[in-house]
Homo-oligomer: A and B are copies of this chain.
Amino acid sequence: MDRTNPIGFFDSGIGGLTVVKAVSQLLPNENIVYFGDTARVPYGSKSNDTVVEYSLQAANFLLRKNIKLLVVACNTASSVALKDLKRFLTIPVIGMIEPGSKLALRESKNSKIGIIGTNATINNKAYSNEIRKLNPKIKVYEKACPLFVPIAEEGWIDHKATELIAKEYLTELKTKKIDSLVLGCTHYPILKDVIQKVVGKSVKLVDSGTPAARLVEEYLNGRGLRNISNQIGKKEFYVSDIPSKFRDMAERFLGKKITHLHKVELDELVNE
């Protein structure tokens, strides 16, 4: 494996670009290949079998790009498919659950942690199992917030309806007196202002992006795989569909312009 090989990322759509942003801020000279499965988005409302199948297809696609490390930049896929991905791949695989859980444990003072995510992430209890494995005394309260993804994609960041929806989802968590809340979906950082307003300033919001980026750095250092070039890394984006408004939305998530955007045909994914 060569140091200059890219880091691979995949997500059901474009939410994972928030993780790419964190990694490229910390490790700007790494080459990056991103796959967003926009033809089959979302994953969070689908069955475990389907999410595992899609995740293995995404990983196989990225392996053909000679990635040196895979970041599962999607909480749903991390919750459901990480074990299978680790079993089939010989390169290191980093999911969102472990770094997010560890950061939540460091942030919480009162040992009461809230988790929000898609139906799949919450139904699979991915975060609560991981956190209890790290510290069985922690109290974990979970809530699926399925409308947050479409709301974030609509860009209703400060709409009154968004606040009402957030209240509906988060009021019960507030009564549990949590002091930290894991944003267990890569779309949710887009809505962090309204989430913070509803849960109150005393609750620390935990986003897996930054701790995942640190874990990537640690893995690469530990294996002598850091790209030591002094040039800014190349970023390539592959998607299974390019709908209208795609570029606007992707640039909102990444916070900068996207170049090198390519469409992947579905049979290229399915027949591998």
Contacts and interface: CB of A to CB of B under 8 A. Distances in A.
Interface of A: 38-41, 45-47, 49-50, 53, 119-120, 123, 146-147, 149-151, 153-154, 156, 159-161, 164-165, 168, 240-245, 266-267, 270-271
Nearest to A146: B154
A112 B267 CA distance: 44
Nearest to A150: B150
Nearest to A49: B241
A47 B39 CA distance: 8
Contacts of A245: 119
Contacts of A165: 161
Contacts of A240: 50
Q: By CB atoms of chain B within 10 A, which of A38, A45, A266 has the most? A: A45
A119 B244 contact: yes
Q: By CB atoms of chain B within 10 A, which of A123, A154, A243, A266 has the most? A: A243
A101 to B, nearest CB: 23
The 8 closest A-B pairs by CB, nearest first: A161-B164, A150-B150, A47-B243, A50-B241, A270-B270, A161-B165, A161-B161, A40-B40
Q: By CB atoms of chain B within 10 A, which of A120, A123, A165, A270 has the most? A: A165
A240 to B, nearest CB: 8
A242 to B, nearest CB: 6
Contacts of A45: 41, 153, 243
Contacts of A38: 46
Nearest to A159: B168
Contacts of A271: 267, 270-271
A241 to B, nearest CB: 5
Contacts of A123: 244
A45 B242 CA distance: 10
Nearest to A54: B39
B39 A50 contact: yes
A247 to B, nearest CB: 12
Contacts of A119: 243-245
B159 A150 contact: no
A146 B120 CA distance: 22
A45 B42 CA distance: 11
30 contacts: A38-B46, A39-B50, A40-B40, A41-B45, A45-B153, A45-B243, A46-B241, A46-B243, A47-B243, A47-B244, A50-B240, A50-B241, A119-B243, A119-B244, A119-B245, A146-B154, A147-B147, A147-B150, A147-B151, A147-B154, A147-B156, A149-B150, A150-B150, A159-B164, A159-B168, A160-B164, A161-B164, A267-B270, A270-B271, A271-B271
